[in-house]
Amino acid sequence: MPFGLKLRRTRRYNVLSKNCFVTRIRLLDSNVIECTLSVESTGQECLEAVAQRLELRETHYFGLWFLSKSQQARWVELEKPLKKQLDKFANEPLLFFGVMFYVPNVSQLQQEATRYQYYLQVKKDVLDGRLRSTLEQGIRLAGLAVQADFGDYNQFESQDFLREYVLFPMDLALEEAVLEELTQKVAQEHKAHRIIMEIMCTWASSSWEFL
């Protein structure tokens, strides 16, 4: 630990000193990072720290949220001290990073890193069942997602890895035989795609109709 400081764990926070605390932030790729802040730091300062790690400049599209004591999602008020909000309203000091404002067209996003975070958000919303699609749309979106996440079809000797990859919404109850059939359709959809970065924009644009 730099400067010989030792972490002292309290009931809710890792505390570095009376004036600092460490909070965790879950990113859209499910990784969790830690951020050391002053007790007076605003939500905006925390968001900017996250954006710096993600190399994001277009921060105005994003926000931070947490689960309240009643298990409801609540957005952080960015202009106010973060720790006070977590102490008063949060079930635990775990923040979630996500898209707060959607644009009418994904082409308005100037930065590649911004488009990638939009892609992760929309994919997550589809798989979590917050954005609904037909099976046909789901197959198309799954094929695009596989291309974006894994690259070209011809890199793989077989498509068996797709059986371990979440392709469809969690709440979609599918019999094993039906799931296998749909997975093969996703493999064929994947075969049709080539350029990864173009795929992410197409995936997000295709999903826009569900928003």
Domain ranges of the chain: 20-99, 106-208
- Mean pLDDT within 75-95: 95
Fold of 20-99: Ubiquitin-like (UB roll) (3.10.20)
Contacts 24+ apart (CB under 8 A), 98-103: 98/28, 98/62, 98/63, 98/64, 98/65, 99/61, 99/62, 99/63, 100/61, 100/62, 100/63, 100/75, 101/60, 101/61, 102/61, 102/208, 102/211, 103/61
Q: Please give the residue that has the higher pLDDT: either 42 or 11.
A: 42
- Mean pLDDT within 80-97: 95
The alpha-carbon radius of gyration of the chain (Å, integer) is 20
Q: Please give the residue that has the higher pLDDT: either 140 or 121.
A: 121
148 in Cβ contact with 203 (< 8 Å): yes
Residues 28-39: tens digit of each pLDDT: 999 999 999 999
Percent of the chain's residues with pLDDT above 90 = 44
Residues contacting 144, CB < 8 A, separation 6+: 189, 193, 199, 202, 203, 206
| Band of residue 88 on the pLDDT scale cut at 50, 70, 90 | very high
Fold of 106-208: Acyl-CoA Binding Protein (1.20.80)
Average pLDDT, the chain: 80
Going 8 to 12 to 13 to 14, the CA torsion angle's sign is positive
| Band of residue 129 on the pLDDT scale cut at 50, 70, 90 | confident
The pLDDT of residue 5: 35
Domains 20-99 and 106-208 share a fold: no
Q: Please give the residue that has the higher pLDDT: either 165 or 83.
A: 83
Residues 40-68: tens digit of each pLDDT: 999 999 999 999 999 999 999 999 999 99
- Mean pLDDT within 158-174: 65
Residue 211 and residue 194: Cα distance in Å, rounded? 26
